[in-house]
């Protein structure tokens, strides 16, 4: 009984992550006993995995900026925004491309203008938020925590 409610909870979390289409990706035969690693319940797309990598990198960069450390390069490839495979290929539309390019611009400006790193970092996070408000609301609460408050 306990295992079953845990399963339901994990299922709910996975479905909430981004969009409802995820449901079709869940393996229906997954036995309840194999719950230890919830991430195995669905195959994360290349784009979702890349986004998770960017998320972790920005947590680190936020700390670096707060510590007054200079960020000299990005630990991920910005070009993946235009090459990684999506869960739903329809997401790669004009809206996505516009915001991906704005995001890229702020990231580059952050590296090129160390004295204004915090400003451009926050602009970049705002671009994550603007795209996610339309494309993928699930991770918004996490992304908003990346903002550096003045
Ligand atoms: C141009 C639009 C856009 C930008 C900019 C963007 N994202 Fe995303 N993000 C998406 C889309 C679309 C997905 C879903 C990808 C998929 O499922 O294939 C996604 C997925 C994610 C996920 C995984 C959600 C899940 O569980 O499936 C996280 C976490 C995430 N983004 C964080 C970020 C962070 C942090 C930034 C900025 C540093 C960012 N995103 C910038 C559009 C964007």
Full-model pTM: 0.82
Domain ranges of the chain: 2-41, 46-144
* Closest C-alpha to 88, from 136, 126, 123: 136
Residue-wise pLDDT for 60-85, tens only, equals 999 999 999 999 999 999 999 999 99
How many contiguous H segments (helices) and E segments (strands) does the chain have? 6, 0
| Predicted local distance difference test score (pLDDT) of residue 12 | 44
Residue-wise pLDDT for 124-141, tens only, equals 999 999 999 999 999 999
Classify the C-alpha dihedral 49-51-52-56 as positive or negative.
Answer: positive
Tokens representing 83 are: 């090459």
| Predicted local distance difference test score (pLDDT) of residue 48 | 96
- Distance linking the first and last C-alpha atoms of the chain: 48
Ligand 1 site residues (CB inside 6 A) read 17-18, 45, 47-48, 51-52, 54-55, 58, 86-87, 91, 96, 99-100, 103, 127-128, 131-132, 135-136, 138-139, 143
| Predicted local distance difference test score (pLDDT) of residue 22 | 44
Ligand 1: residue of 51, 61, 82 to mutate (most ligand atoms within 8 A of CB) is 51
Residue 102 CA: which ligand 1 atom is closest? 5
């Amino acid at each position: 009984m306990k295992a079953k409610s845990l399963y339901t909870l994990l299922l709910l979390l996975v479905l909430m992550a981004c969009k409802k289409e995820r449901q079709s990706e869940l393996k229906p035969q997954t036995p309840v006993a194999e719950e230890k690693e919830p991430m195995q319940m669905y195959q994360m797309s290349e784009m979702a995995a890349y986004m998770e990598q960017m998320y972790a990198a920005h947590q680190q960069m936020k700390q670096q900026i707060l510590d007054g450390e200079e960020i000299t390069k990005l630990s991920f490839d910005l070009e993946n925004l235009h090459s990684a495979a999506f869960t739903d290929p329809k997401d790669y539309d004009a809206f996505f491309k516009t915001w991906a390019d704005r995001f890229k611009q702020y990231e580059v400006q952050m590296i090129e203008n160390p004295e204004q790193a915090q400003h451009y970092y926050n602009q970049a996070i705002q671009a994550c938020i603007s795209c996610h408000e339309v494309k993928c609301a699930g991770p918004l609460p996490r992304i908003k925590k990346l903002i550096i408050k003045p």
